[in-house]
Amino acid sequence: MRQVAFKQVDVFTRIPFLGNPLAVILDATGISEHEMQRIARWTNLSETSFVLPPTCAAADYRLRIFTTTQELPFAGHPSIGTAHALLEAGLLQPVANRWTQECGAGLLRLYRSGATPADRRIHVQVPRAKIAPAAAALDRQIEAVFGLKPRQVDQARVVDVGAIWLVVDLDSATSVRALQPSSAALEQLSASLGVTGITVFGRQSGGDAKLAVRSFCPGEGMFEDPVCGSGNASVAAYLHARGTLHAIGPTYRASQGRELGRDGYVDVAVDASGDIEIGGACVTCVDGFIRLK
């Protein structure tokens, strides 16, 4: 049996057992796509990442990302968590704290910020968002699925950042945190739209974040993603597209996972052209080897 280095990293937190856990296979050379999917089903986390040599000189490494059911071209917490794992293992030597990841969505820039370990965060460039037109009938479907009041949803949109999310803007963080939707209804709606899941957000007055966010994805093998990078990126793209980002600011922090006991924080930055970066802290909880046939 072959042993390969393995880490389990909590992303979007610096406190062990909070944030969003990620399994990282640090050298996936020789592991087939079928085996990667089997391993991802076995770890039973929202995503498992596999590090491979890059196929182009501009990249420092290549990343393949699997949920328990399928491969994704991009996801935020695997990109950030894998970079943390590689840096910690001494397998990545960035120039000026910057490097490039190759993945299914192309070449993406990453960088590390923070002068001390307590301040350290990793940030990743998000693939350019594609946003579908709004549909009033869809708003009414969402209200029915979540048990919301009539006209409580306005211009929900499907946003594609590699992972595809239906983004729903609610009136407040309180409304977001109180949601108790049916898993079957969410899965049916997600399947009918061909989306990864449904990300809901609301504005928070004061406190430690500007937004509260929740990402539901029962069709991906889990009812709710603890802290979702691509979901938060989709929210940022939605706000920019609707012209409502100015009320929050081009850089902000979002809170996610509190309802699951996985309290995490995502740092989001949007430039004038709509390009998005997400970032956060990481902590390693498991460090060792995985045995493969």
Dihedral over Cα of 109, 233, 252, 82: its sign: negative
DSSP 8-state code for residue 72: E
φ and ψ of 166, to 5 deg: -85, 120
List active site positions: 47
Closest CA relative to residue 237, chosen from 151, 146, 163:
163
**How many distinct helices (H) and strands (E) make up the chain?**
6, 18
Beta bridge partners of 256: 213, 264
Token representation of residue 170:
């609610």
Contact 198, 205 (CB under 8 A): no
At position 46, the amino acid (one-letter code) is S
Q: What is the DSSP string of 175-238?
A: HHHT----HHHHHHHHHHHT-SEEEEEEE--STT-SEEEEEE-GGGT-SEESS-HHHHHHHHHH
Dihedral over alpha carbons 136, 178, 212, 215 (to 10 degrees): -70
